[in-house]
Structures are given as C-alpha cells and as structure tokens.
Amino acid sequence: MADKIIIQIYKHPNNISLNGRVYLLDENNNPLEYDTIEEALQYLKSNGVNTITEKQAEDEYGIFFERVPERTENTLTNKPNVSRLFNYLTKVRR
C-alpha cells in the first residue's frame, strides 16, 4: 500500500496549544486522504482556503500535511466537524 497525505490543522483556542491538532474528515468521520500534497491543496482551495503553496498553508493557516500509511480503519482522535473548521479558518484570515 502507498502512503497517503492527510490534512492536519493546529488550533490554539485562547492561546492554549494542548490537543491543538485536528484532522479534516469525510462524512464517515475518517481522515480525508490524498495521494499528493497538490491534491490536498486543491481540496482546500475548492473549500475556501486560498492557499497557493504548502508553506503558505502552514504559515497563514496552521495547516500541515502528514504522510501516513494507507489504512483501512480510522485510528485518529480529536476529530472536528469539517464545516465548523472551515468556518474557523476563514474567520482567522479576515
């Protein structure tokens, strides 16, 4: 199996970084997986996060891309609601 790219976002509510890592999920609460960082960036762009590069995603939004082995079951925790997370990110940029 090939590695996949998942999107993780660091949030620091009230400037507290405990458990700040969250992942973007599909409708079944599994991490969204991409074959390349470019595909992940395109997904973000199509959902209102106007990033151009991986570095810009990290610097401006706190979005990081993690390479993980392809998996058949979800083992990640701390799962956000994707639409709430995009709303949060778009507010941060305004």
Classify strands 21-23 and 3-10 as parallel, antiparallel or unpaired: antiparallel
What are the extents of the domains in the chain? 3-93
- pLDDT, tens digit, 9 for 90 and up, residues 40-72: 999 998 988 887 899 998 888 888 898 888 765
Rg (CA), the chain: 13
Cut 0.85: pTM above it: no
